[in-house]
Amino acid sequence: APTRVWTSPMVRTRETAEVIAGRLGLTPDVVEDLREGDFGDWQGLTHREIREGWPGELDRWHYVEGVQPPGGESFAQVAGRVRDVAGRALAEHAGESVVLVCHNIVTKSGIGTLAGMDPQAWYDTRIPPGSISILRLWPESHELVVLGLPGEVGETRATDTLF
């Protein structure tokens, strides 16, 4: 069973983490590096608005490594934060299961980089909201067990069957 629940500081993830942690008899820890990607000047805009205001840039951000929204983060920068979190989990909780409750871009970038996926494939990876992904990490290897399994934290399987 998981021994830690780490969550983004955003309200929606903290609320989800509290449900998961409560089922496990744990208290979630807020980890700043699990925060959502910074969309900079694009924050709150639709894809259409971004395409109109910054022609060609949205696709470049999605598919060209290192491109970032004006004033925001690239997928690689977000992935770097997740690598730091994974390194901390390996250093402080080796042999334990740590649940991370975070956001779509964080999950895509993190799993993408930790699993050795081509960065151009990260954006096209479909991970449904509220789903479960399991990545086992060791200092020199990894195993992607589940990616985007639909589940609701209120269901038994979300905490009992998969861990």
Q: Could you name the CATH architecture of 4-37+81-158?
A: 3-Layer(aba) Sandwich (3.40)
**Residue 1, C-beta contacts closer than 8 angstroms, at least 6 positions apart:** 24, 97, 163
- 152: pLDDT confidence band, cut at 50, 70 and 90? low
Q: Which among 6, 123, 141 has a CA at the least distance from the CA of 62?
A: 123
Q: What is the pLDDT of residue 161?
A: 31
pLDDT above 90 covers a percentage of the chain that reads: 55
Encoded amino acid at 1, one letter: A
What does the domain layout of the chain look like in residue ranges?
4-37+81-158, 39-72
Alpha carbons 156 and 162: distance in angstroms, whole number: 10
SS3 label, residue 38? coil
pLDDT for 64-89, tens place per residue? 888 999 999 998 899 899 999 999 99
User: Residue 122: which of 145, 143, 149, 104 has the closest Cα?
Assistant: 104
